[in-house]
Amino acid sequence: MRIVIAPDSFKECITAGQVAAAISEGVIEACPQAVIDICPMADGGEGTVPAIVTATGGRYISADVFDPLGKIVRAKYALVSKAPEVHLPGEVGLVATWVDEADHENCACDGCLAVVEMAAASGLELVPPSMRDPLHTTTYGTGQLITSALDAGAGEIVLGVGGSATVDGGAGCAAALGVRFLDSAGCEIGPSICGGRLSEIASIDVTGLDSRIRPGMIQIACDVSNPLTGANGAARIYAPQKGATPEVVDMLEAGLENLCEVVQRDLGVDISRLSSAGAAGGLAGGLVAFAGATMHRGFDLIAEAVGLGNRIGQAQLVITGEGKLDAQSAYGKVCAGVAEFAREAGVAVICIPGRVAYDAPIDMFQGVWPLVAEGVNEQQAMNSPESLLTLRARQAMQRYMRTMLNR
């Protein structure tokens, strides 16, 4: 029996790879003859890079870049070969290789896929709580990571945009890629332009954009639909979570509105109401305007990168999971996405979440086995997730095999 194990991470607890490994132990305990295909998943947010590396046998590359406040931080991204064989079940590499930026000449893979998390360079967790203020944070380091990926030979870039510390409309990232932002006196703003300086932008010059970037090359993986400006935009909805006071929110909103006006005038692109443009403080919308990026549902991009459909199509059972299964899980989250792939392939799917809400879409699965059950409370589940995942996987497999035998 071939079994694909394709969970998301349990946020703030364990990674998708750790979840998959713990589930696989329980499966083998119940069914020693099972052939396991480990395929950790993500939706473009936290954990996307390690999930891709584990699922495909890709490799990490690290680079020194600016963090949101302009300090040097070592960040990592993934390079994945585009050769079809990396998507075949049973041929999954579980040991990641680290490569430093200085070793690009020894690891270049022309035309390969790079998977970048903006949070690795521009994430909220990189900024101490007392210093969080999106007026002064920038996505410049994310642009540096993209440049590093281009130097390594990437022909396609998937950019996960969850967890940002920024509301700079992607201007910082674009500046790192060669775009120039000028004030009314014709002086360049930056180089690492931040959210508080968006209102100063009077013109934009994209002639210096890295020539290796072509339209559609950067694919943005996002799971929010917020526009760039307005009541549901990047500043008003997300800036308070990043340390912005009401006064700062108003300043950021004015800056984003100005950015939209200049972009439309100078580049002929209207990003003011573009769905999902507000993701990551406007990074998504900015890269659409400055670099011809495209936006996609995060799960879909990751599924394509790891060859999920092909792997599930060759399996007899799929097991997925996430920290909390609730009504929101049905909208672009990993468990629902995996279940949809399994349904289309006619393959049974079991879900092992941390806990289940009353409104969870449990009818999408043949079985749901939460950690928080049978006398286990939430704190106990947080303290011992791996042993409980193994237990629930063993119980689920035993039930599944009994059901199959009784058919």
In tens, the pLDDT along 350-380 reads 999 999 999 999 999 999 999 999 999 999 9
Query: What's residue 109's pLDDT?
Result: 63
Q: Measuring CA to CA, which residue among 236, 263, 275, 265 is closest to residue 252?
A: 236
User: Comparing 169 with 104, which gets the higher pLDDT?
Assistant: 169
How many CB atoms are located within 10 Å of the residue 402 CB?
Answer: 9
Residue 236, C-beta contacts closer than 8 angstroms, at least 6 positions apart: 230, 249, 253
Lowest mean pLDDT among 48-52, 265-269, 351-355, 366-370: 48-52
pTM, two decimals, is 0.84
Q: Do domains 2-38+316-405 and 48-298 have the same CATH topology?
A: no
Which tens digits make up the pLDDT trace of 206-233? Answer: 999 999 999 999 999 987 889 999 999 9
Lowest mean pLDDT among 33-47, 62-76, 249-263, 341-355: 33-47
Question: Phi/psi at 86 (nearest 5 deg)?
Answer: -70, -15
Spell out the domain ranges in the chain.
2-38+316-405, 48-298
Query: Secondary structure of the chain: what % helix, strand, coil (to 5)?
Result: 45, 20, 40
Confidence of residue 108 (pLDDT cuts 50, 70, 90): low
* Eight-class DSSP state of 347: -
C-alpha dihedral over 26, 31, 37, 43, to 10 degrees? -40
Instruction: Say how far apart CA 19 and CA 351 lie, in whole Å.
Output: 12
Q: Which CATH superfamily is domain 2-38+316-405 in?
A: Glycerate kinase; domain 1 (3.40.50.10350)
User: Which residues are registered as beta bridge partners of 317?
Assistant: 3, 348
The CATH number assigned to the domain with range 48-298 reads: 3.90.1510.10
| Residues of the chain above pLDDT 90, percent | 79
